Amino acid sequence: MMRRWLVVTLYGCLACALAGFGNVGRGKEDGETLTYEVVRVKIPGEDITQFGLLFRSPGTEAPAPGIIVLHGWATPGTVGAALVAYMAFEFQQAGYIAMALSLRGWPETGGRDDCGERQAHDVATAVRWFARQPGVLPEHMALVGHSQGGQIALLAGSLELPLRAIVAYAPATDLERWEQRTELQGIKRYLRNVCSQGAGLAVRSPISVAGRIRPPVLLIHGTGDERVPIEQSQRLLQAMGRAGRRDAILRIVPDAGHHWAELQGTRFALDFLNAIFAATDAKPVPVLTSLVTPRFVESKPQQSEPVTD
């Protein structure tokens, strides 16, 4: 009941932010006041302006690492940042400064969805902008993305950015293979009509830049995912291993589907990010605790492990 009350409070706050107002929301958990501020932000770029919802602790001057959260594909017209606002909220409650970002093609960011071709560079612009914001430790930043957001986070990870970590939930990493294997006609049409345009599928596939993804990576994928099969994460892990990378981890969630909540929410991400930032003396103090006991199988890349066709 308490978690539901917090969700209602958060989305009341979001409604104000989406209407054009910053807002401070407060809730209680076990008698402790949880305070947050969510503010609309606009990030100028070369051809579009990006929209985000910035979550921070009001009145706090202590610097903290920054996390940008990226949503997956959604029905056109959906405010993308709102889809991952609760994830950003949980990261903020754990001591980070977090921003939920609408990708190119989703309100209130401009442009058209291009399946990652320019979106990765848009995210790079957002990372550089975020690094300049008050309170954000500019050399201690991370990207967290779900589905298409995970794909784009991984592509952005191959660019020269001040990123310490990437967390990708159920990402598509090899779009050519995805097109060959999927039986979902809506996905086939999307890959053919959007992703195959311009530079093509390979440029939009993180597996093509597996050896150039700069920060450590956590992949989280469910064995029951019928939209983006788990082999998409497995193949990227193997490709990174063949490239000599030993700082990528795949956490497999048995029976979980595609939605991020089925993948244990932010629990795995926080464990990973806290460990990364603790090693750089930039670890926040967690406030929220997970309400779900996770079940997972952890895999690390094996350089000699072949990719099964």
* Sequence-ordered list of residues with C-beta below 8 angstroms from that of 118, at least 6 positions apart, any chain: 104, 111
Give tens-digit pLDDT for 155-190.
Answer: 999 999 999 999 999 999 999 999 999 999 999 999
Please name the amino acid found at residue 156.
A
7 occurs within a structural domain? no
19 occurs within a structural domain? no
> Alpha-carbon distance 279 to 276, whole Å?
5
Please name the amino acid found at residue 137.
L
109 occurs within a structural domain? yes
Strands 217-222 and 163-169 come out as: parallel
DSSP code, position 1: -
Question: Three-state DSSP class for 86?
Answer: helix
pLDDT of amino acid 289: 31
Please name the amino acid found at residue 93.
Q
Number of Cβ within 10 Å of residue 110's Cβ equals 16
183 occurs within a structural domain? yes
Q: What is the CATH number of the domain that holds 269?
A: 3.40.50.1820
Q: What mean pLDDT is reported for the chain?
A: 85
Angle between helices 85-93 and 267-278 (to 10 degrees): 40
255 occurs within a structural domain? yes
10 occurs within a structural domain? no
Q: Which of 171, 275, 184 is nearest to 232 (CA)?
A: 171
Q: For residue 116, what pLDDT band results from cuts at 50, 70 and 90?
A: very high
**pLDDT at 226 > cutoff 50:** yes
Quote the number of domains for the chain.
1
- Side-chain-side CA neighbours of 148 within 13 Å: the count stands at 25
In total, the chain counts a number of residues equal to 309
The DSSP code sequence of 148-191 is: HHHHHHHHHTTSS--EEEEEEES----HHHHHHH---HHHHHHI
The domain of 97 spans 38-299
Q: For residue 306, what pLDDT band results from cuts at 50, 70 and 90?
A: very low
Range 10-21 average pLDDT: 51
Q: How far apart are the first and last CA of the chain?
A: 47
**pLDDT at 28 > cutoff 70:** no
91 occurs within a structural domain? yes
> Alpha-carbon distance 163 to 165, whole Å?
6
Virtual torsion, Cα 130, 55, 260, 169, nearest 10 deg:
20
Range 102-110 average pLDDT: 97
Range 52-61 average pLDDT: 85
32 occurs within a structural domain? no
The DSSP code sequence of 188-239 is: HHHIIIIITSTT-TGGG-GGGGGGG--S-EEEEEETT-SSS-THHHHHHHHH
- pTM for the model stands at 0.85
Q: If you search the block for the tokens 């920054």, which residue do you land on? A: 66
Give tens-digit pLDDT for 235-277.
Answer: 999 999 999 989 999 999 999 999 987 888 898 999 999 999 9
> Alpha-carbon distance 298 to 220, whole Å?
9
pLDDT of amino acid 300: 60
Helix (H) / strand (E) containing 284 = none
Q: Which of 95, 101, 91 is nearest to 127 (CA)?
A: 101
